[in-house]
Amino acid sequence: MTVNTALSVCPHDCPSACPLVVELPEPGRIGRVHGGEMAYTGGVVCAKVARYAERVHHPDRLTTPLKRVGAKGEGKFAPISWDEALDEIALRLREAADRLGPQTVWPYFYAGTMGHVQQSAINRLRRIMGYSEQAKTICSTAASTGWMAGTGAKWGVDPREIPESDLIVIWGANPAATQVHLMGLINQARKQRGAKLVVVDPYRTPTAEKADQHLCLRPGTDGALACAVMHVMFRDDLADRAYMARYTDCPERLEAHLQSRTPQWAAAITGLSVDEIEAFARLYGATKRSYLRSGYGYSRSRNGSVNLHAVSCLPAVSGAWRHKGGGACQSMGGVFDLRRTLLDGLDVPAAPVRILDMSRIGPVLTHDPKDLAGGPAVTAMLVQNSNPATVAPDSGLVRRGLARDDLFLAVHEQFMTETARFADIVLPATTSMEHADLYTSYGHTFLQVAKPVIAPVGESRANHRVIAELASRLGAIHPGFEMDEWEMIDQVLVASDLPGAEELHVLGGLDCAKVFEDAHFLSGFGHEDGRFRFAPEWKAEGLPELPDHLAVTDAADEAHPFRLITPPSRHFLNTSFTEMPTSRAQAGRPTALIHPEDCAALGAAEGDMVRIGNSKADIIVHAKPLAGIARGVVAVEGIWPDGFFAGGKGVNHLTSADPALPGGGAVFHDTKVWLRACHPERERGISA
């Protein structure tokens, strides 16, 4: 029997932005999801989206607006109508603004959907109403700051060149788990050209397992490794001096500065051996078709931007940018030239407002004067596409803030997340299968649109519509609030000199790839003088003038001898998919990966519980010995909701809201902790 299908696009915060072919076995229901045609994704999707029906038709989907009837965070709600819910939200936002001025209202969102239309409506409302701004720092800011410092442009070499590379370096990423398509291209290069794969990561990920060399360095020491690699390239005449003279700012200063950044110096900082560093440096310097894929992992550290800049200097020293299959990539997001005026309401003159750092939602909501920037307390919030109670750092502080009786909180969500449990009003949101949107990508160069493939589940409504309905109640006027989603997509595309919505839909996507010279920066880097900057203009005190190791991390000490990292799980995407039974079953349970000798020293065997703690909190997880992790490092993968932890507290109770230098960014992999064996039954016995 043939099953009807429809085309869609994956909305999740993943570099692949896959085109999808969705089976429609009966009206109102989706079935199996397959990969659609596109040169980058090659018709492949990840397992969690292949079974997306489990998520879309999950019995726990929110299907009606709800009003809180219990204590904040308790999760007791009663159904109400959409009109009651929207009237109440508009009233409470207006009352808060009348009392303390519009900046007391803080609309908060992130990348629960990557679709531009459903993401941007809240920003347009914010601008028109003069509500507080949000610094969107929680994911890519530290990486982007480091990359832009050197290249000055937010793109790199198209990953589709990887099959023509002789060496692929994956630095701080785990594509075998989180970017299946990139791994496919790497496998092609290995099969066809015998390309080598090197992985730089503080633990042995599935990608590192496949590598020819795994550099298992201490977290936050990537800048030191990069400096030593460049030292060797200069020392052994592997640096491309002609390239540097033509395309970079100060190669002589860099060479002099790196004289003392020897492999011995870096070995003491990184924990790697001198031989490992030498071998990698010689391989990298001698292989001109080397493709460096820079991930986000190593940017999530107080020195993350400085480290990322240091790593981005490697192809500028080796001259790899000149060669097919050579160069580097951090994000492809900058190849899309969308005019955002209509999306963000930029045609409306905006009042100057303060910018609140979304990664510091804990300090903001608990009235840290530095964060409030001289403005009023935040007393009203509308949250879309984000679950800060679980994903933001310093969860304990975030929850204290969300539990404030004087804070009005409305959350528009697909599921009853831990953030939604704190809400006064919860609104049911559509999934990408139920609304239209416009998608770019940060892993490839294809622009795509998607129409809804089924009707909204229950009474759920799309972000765009909900914000338009609130705007009308609040008196916010803008043409964007009058349009439906498709009309808006069409107008944004036409304003950007691109094919309209229908045409793009028929085309199945538009490749916005840059030509070779531009992608490889042979027509110049993004700075005014067209040169790569070894000496960035950080515009901040205390940062090194040239690539270096910046010792500002939360370094281990006697009381906290371990460093905690919190990488993603293959089966979740932040907290999305944690509601799916299959994903949960595959992910297992919250687990600490610990070096076997560290496990032995703790007296913990596989499956035993361990307590991980610092001055903020302590959490309980099961231990799993892993030989491929540096001594003194502990990794807890995935953002499991708190309820899945034996002690009721999740991993972000331990992480800090300190910003990465100099431009901000959450520092999820930069936490010193202690570890202790944990015997809950014995502990219960003692307290009884």
Binding stretches for ligand SF4 (CB under 6 A): 10, 12, 14, 16-18, 45-46, 49, 180, 573
Identify which of 260, 153, 169, 331 has the alpha carbon closest to the alpha carbon of residue 546: 260
Q: Least separation, in Å, of the C-beta of 666 and ligand SF4?
A: 21
> In three state form, how does the secondary structure of 374-427 look?
CCCCCCEEEEECCCHHHHCCCHHHHHHHHCCCCCEEEEEECCCCCCHHHCCEEE
CA 454, CA 468: separation in Å to the nearest integer? Answer: 22
Identity of the residue, 15 or 327, whose beta carbon is nearer to ligand SF4 in the bound complex = 15
Task: Give the tokens for residue 51.
Answer: 């079974």
Q: Least separation, in Å, of the C-beta of 113 and ligand SF4?
A: 11
Q: 271: alpha, beta or left, given left = phi > 0 and alpha = psi -120 to 50? A: left
CA 228, CA 223: separation in Å to the nearest integer? Answer: 9
Identity of the residue, 116 or 218, whose beta carbon is nearer to ligand SF4 in the bound complex = 116
CA 604, CA 595: separation in Å to the nearest integer? Answer: 11
Q: Least separation, in Å, of the C-beta of 504 and ligand SF4?
A: 18
Q: Which residues pair with 573 in a beta bridge?
A: 576
Identity of the residue, 56 or 654, whose beta carbon is nearer to ligand SF4 in the bound complex = 56
Q: Least separation, in Å, of the C-beta of 12 and ligand SF4?
A: 4
DSSP 8-state secondary structure symbol assigned to residue 310: H
Q: Least separation, in Å, of the C-beta of 442 and ligand SF4?
A: 11
Identity of the residue, 553 or 569, whose beta carbon is nearer to ligand SF4 in the bound complex = 569
Q: Least separation, in Å, of the C-beta of 49 and ligand SF4?
A: 3
Q: Least separation, in Å, of the C-beta of 110 and ligand SF4?
A: 16
CA 227, CA 317: separation in Å to the nearest integer? Answer: 11
Identity of the residue, 186 or 382, whose beta carbon is nearer to ligand SF4 in the bound complex = 186
Degrees (nearest 5) of the Cα angle 120, 125, 467?
Answer: 75
Q: Which residues pair with 66 in a beta bridge?
A: 79, 426
Task: Give the tokens for residue 543.
Answer: 């940062």
Q: Least separation, in Å, of the C-beta of 587 and ligand SF4?
A: 15
Identity of the residue, 181 or 300, whose beta carbon is nearer to ligand SF4 in the bound complex = 181
Identity of the residue, 19 or 401, whose beta carbon is nearer to ligand SF4 in the bound complex = 19
Identity of the residue, 115 or 547, whose beta carbon is nearer to ligand SF4 in the bound complex = 115
Identify which of 13, 11, 12, 10 has the alpha carbon closest to the alpha carbon of residue 21: 10
Which residues are CB-neighbours of 208 under 8 A, at least 6 positions away?
174, 199, 201, 214, 216, 628
